[in-house]
Amino acid sequence: MNGERVGEWGTLRGARTPFFRYEKSWANSPHGRALSLSLPVTADREVRGPAVEYYFDNLLPDSAELRSRIRTRFKTRSSDAFDLLTAIGRDCVGAVQLLPPNDEPLGWDRVDAAPLTEEEVERTLREVTVATPLTHEAQDDFRISLAGAQEKTALLHMAGQWFRPRHATPTTHILKLPLGIIGGFRGDFSDSVENEWLCAQVLRELDLPVADAAIARFGEQRALVVTRFDRRWIGVGTAEVQKKRFKPRKGAWIARLPQEDLCQAMGLPHILRYEADGGPSIAEALGLLANSEHPVRDQTNFLLAQLAFWLLAATDGHGKNFSLHHRSGGTYGLTPLYDVLSAWPIIGHGKNQLALEQAKLAMSLRGRRAYYRLSEIAGRHWQELAQRTAVPGLWNRMQSFVESASAALECVEKRLPRAFPEHVYASSRDGVLCQVRRFAQTIGPSAT
């Protein structure tokens, strides 16, 4: 982690029990901290069992198809997490770098990268979905592991130009491709790039922390460019980095910032990321955030995010789409939001559409039972949630939040990019405003 050896991950001989053993030097380091809330630094500095397996497995894409493609491209023995991360674990989400025992992350404190032309970036994006094996040279330059279900890659951006990092230099931006046709009902998310950009802008207008995102085109390839909040330039200001004449000087480098998603923090496999399958619930997430460095702020933002997901019909707010920053000394906090996508553009009763009655949140609102469906959740359920959680000032914040939604949409509309797909904005706007009205009309009489 940023040049320091954290520990060893492996499997006990004669058994299939995974283990992680922290280095003594890391446990005593001023930068030392646990990799995960589920992998504490114990007296003997060793953790065994499923939590170890799940932590590392969650560094990989969720999709079996994407994992199979990685196996083919890097010619790994299997699709197991250990084999895949042996091949692509040099640049993971968060601060972890996975290397063979005798390898050192040479050059972690300097910037080593090859410049890319727009045509080369276009080719890189086009090849993301290709399952053919990479050349040895390409493998050395492309050992990146990105979690999630979407087709994506990552690159370094500085001096107004794109670069492919080499050796221990990390990436700074994630480039996400359009989702296309997904789900059993074959919903058309070909405009997912614009959709996710729109959601991020609305969340920002509503004062929720969210990852910076921009729409970019490289030749025929369209991508959402997301600035990584698990990366930070050291020894140089962010504004200077993007000046066209910038060249990294000695002492300027990119730090990897430790983080983990809620499935990792709770010791759960990626297949249990949805609450309905046994994954993190609102109550369990609030329990983790109660011990964060800023509990009231983090719990408030988490709950307002759930409310925003209801407004936006963002149905994928599962345990892997919330993460925690880990800081030295054992403190942690909620990261900005990411991967928020509205279902409003595909909600309806036509072909390849999802009926509103079928659309569900990833985490339920609990009352007499668990409420998942957008159509059955009303203002009173949010009111009851605010009263039950007892987060100071939450109900007032929720009401103000919903009341601000219309103005937030108007602000975003004024800066829509040219040729932005009209149906994405119009359907999202109409859906949000419908939820705003429903919220106001269904608040209980005890509201204050």
3-state secondary structure the chain: CCCCCCEEEEECCCCCCEEEEECHHHHCCCCCCCCECCECCCCCCEEECHHHHHHHHCCCECCHHHHHHHHHHHCCCCCCHHHHHHHHCCECCCCCCCCCCCCCCCCCCCCCEEEECHHHHHHHHHHCCCCCCCCHHHHHHCCECCCECCCEEEEEEECCEEEEECCCCCCCEEEECCCEEECCCCEEECCHHHHHHHHHHHHHHCCCCECCEEEEEECCEEEEEEECCCEEEECCCHHHHCCCCCCCCCCCEEEECCEEEHHHHCCCCHHHCCHHHCCCCHHHHHHHHCCCCCHHHHHHHHHHHHHHHHHHCCCCCCHHHCEEEECCCCCEEECCECCCCCCHHHECCCCCCECHHHCEEEEEEECCCEEEEHHHCCHHHHHHHHHHHCCCCHHHHHHHHHHCHHHHHHHHHCCCCCCCCHHHHHHHHHHHHHHHHHHHHCCCCCCC
Give the C-alpha separation, 283 to 391, whole Å: 12
pLDDT one-digit tens code per residue, 217-235: 999 999 999 999 999 999 9
- Whose structure tokens read 């430790």? 258
**Mean pLDDT of all residues in the chain?**
92
Instruction: Please state the rounded mean pLDDT for residues 429-434.
Output: 98
Give the pLDDT score at 374.
Answer: 97
User: Which of the residue ranges 238-252, 276-290, 359-373 has the most confident prediction, judged by mean pLDDT?
Assistant: 276-290
Task: Place 73 in a pLDDT band, splitting at 50, 70 and 90.
Answer: confident
CB-count exposure of residue 380 (10 Å: 0-12, 13-18, 19+)? middle
Task: Place 185 in a pLDDT band, splitting at 50, 70 and 90.
Answer: low
Give the pLDDT score at 342.
Answer: 97
Give the pLDDT score at 106.
Answer: 84
Task: Tell me the pTM.
Answer: 0.93
pLDDT over threshold 80, residue 47: yes
How distant is the alpha carbon of residue 127 from its chain centre?
Answer: 22
Instruction: Please state the rounded mean pLDDT for residues 258-273.
Output: 97
Annotation marks residue 316 as catalytic: yes
pLDDT over threshold 80, residue 133: no
Give the C-alpha separation, 106 to 85, whole Å: 18
Give the pLDDT score at 180.
Answer: 83
Provide the token pair at 186: 């074959």
pLDDT > 90 in the chain, percent: 79
φ, ψ of residue 162 in degrees (nearest 5): -95, 145
> Which is the catalytic residue, given 62, 191, 298, 316?
316
User: Euclidean distance between the first and final Cα of the chain, in Å?
Assistant: 48
Give the pLDDT score at 144.
Answer: 64
Give the pLDDT score at 367.
Answer: 80
Q: Which residue has the higher pLDDT, 136 or 57?
A: 57
User: Which of the residue ranges 89-93, 176-180, 181-185, 306-310 has the most confident prediction, judged by mean pLDDT?
Assistant: 306-310
Give the pLDDT score at 349.
Answer: 86
Give the pLDDT score at 150.
Answer: 67
Task: Place 140 in a pLDDT band, splitting at 50, 70 and 90.
Answer: very low
pLDDT one-digit tens code per residue, 196-210: 999 999 999 999 999
Give the pLDDT score at 143.
Answer: 55
pLDDT over threshold 90, residue 109: yes
CB-count exposure of residue 31 (10 Å: 0-12, 13-18, 19+)? middle
Provide the token pair at 185: 């009902």
| Torsional class of 287: left (φ above 0), alpha (ψ -120 to 50), beta (otherwise) | alpha
Give the pLDDT score at 141.
Answer: 46
Q: Identify whether the C-beta of residue 408 lies closer than 8 Å to the C-beta of residue 205.
A: yes
CATH C-level class of 259-441: mainly alpha
Provide the token pair at 370: 């668990």
Give the pLDDT score at 350.
Answer: 84
pLDDT over threshold 50, residue 157: yes
pLDDT over threshold 80, residue 179: yes
Q: Identify whether the C-beta of residue 322 lies closer than 8 Å to the C-beta of residue 302.
A: yes
pLDDT over threshold 90, residue 334: yes
